[in-house]
A and B are shown apart, each in its own frame.
Chain A
């Protein structure tokens, strides 16, 4: 009844339609996302997307997008497929399709020479399904969140007074700052023209990335050998072209970039708030200035960050700025889980390796939301 096949371009319209079970948005938006993620991927040219087909119709998919990771004192690089975009059409669920798609995927990936795979933002359903199919959890992302904009006491007082007045009562909540932020453009305050001027402050805002100076900064800051994504110019240029997300960049430094902080929001679901997806700085004061500018200028209803491998000083800074542990999923309460899985070698089922490097100890990772497609 079901046939498991690898993606071919003729199936793209059906894949885009199926993806709508995953993401909101039109088929055109889903198609653009697919093309960006799999067809323009800098590391794996031919999309590693595995499909379940039933009577000529695509009813299930699992995508593995290419990512380039570096590890160890010599920053050895490895291309690793990262599992994402898992969807089964509702009427075909609970028929063992997930297992069948993944069996075909593992066989193909092993034949292509891949020895491990990552899954970097496993929510409740993915986590449950993955743990029974050979994936191992490194831990959760330890997501923190800062909610709301505290309203000034005078606004509360004026709001309370307006509430008792004819006609004017309808503006009471707005004056008191209690308007539901859901659905409004998350970057609307950040984008006010005054924020764009680099002259007023050493921190300045841009709508587009600056891959060359960003990559230079990352190179200058060095690599401590932990597993991390290679963030070179090519990667940064591709990464921020995700058509489903919107990004803003806070840069620091005049002649030479000495820090940046990247914010992201979801074009198709504005209620999901804003994420801090990457954050680099040469000094603690630059790091602090970037965060302060993001929060003061953006005044976001909700902003989140992953802290699992963040340096202690940066975690403290987030805590002092009002971030507290987030509560998201029902099983993934401290944020999505980071999963690894060995491929091909049965022994790697217990100890997935990247080259000769072990992966199950979270202290060996430098994990940022940017590396996952949550960002």
Chain B
């Protein structure tokens, strides 16, 4: 459990760094629950980078058209939940997420 928390913290830090690099102006709330898509902070190019980041961490292709992207990736917490749900250890069916 402690390892899970450490992993999530590491992923959170990575994701925040990614968003800071591609999308977010200084001073914008990057808390776990802060809305990213519905607030317009995350635009298409950054979403693409986030999608590739998720794929890299899942080690699998993600079909972003197969789920409600706006709902499932609207915050850092939601994206981390998505990764946790689809991580290889929790995948029962193949390696395809989404």
A residues in contact (CB < 8 Å) with B: 93-94, 96-100, 124-133, 136-137, 139, 330-331, 333, 337
Contact = CB atoms under 8 A, between A and B. Distances in A.
Contact of A93 (B40, B45, B73): B45
A96 B41 contact: yes
Nearest to B66: A137
B48 A98 contact: no
Contacts of B18: none
Contact of B65 (A96, A100, A137): A137
A364 to B, nearest CB: 17
A129 B47 contact: yes
A132 B52 CA distance: 16
30 contacts: A93-B43, A94-B25, A94-B41, A94-B42, A94-B43, A94-B45, A96-B39, A96-B41, A97-B43, A100-B40, A124-B48, A125-B44, A125-B45, A125-B48, A126-B44, A128-B44, A128-B45, A128-B47, A128-B48, A128-B69, A129-B44, A130-B44, A131-B64, A132-B42, A132-B70, A133-B70, A137-B65, A330-B48, A330-B52, A331-B51
Interface of B: 22-25, 37, 39-48, 51-52, 61-62, 64-65, 69-70, 73
A136 B43 CA distance: 17
Question: Is the contact region of chain B dominated by helix, strand, or loop, or is it mixed?
Answer: loop
Closest 5 interchain pairs by CB?
A129-B44, A96-B40, A137-B65, A128-B47, A132-B70
Contact of B40 (A99, A126, A331, A333): A99
B47 to A, nearest CB: 4
Contacts of B73: 132
B63 to A, nearest CB: 8
Contacts of B64: 127-128, 131, 331
A98 B44 contact: yes
A139 B23 CA distance: 28
Contacts of A100: 40
A94 B28 CA distance: 12
A239 B42 CA distance: 36
A69 to B, nearest CB: 21
B72 to A, nearest CB: 10
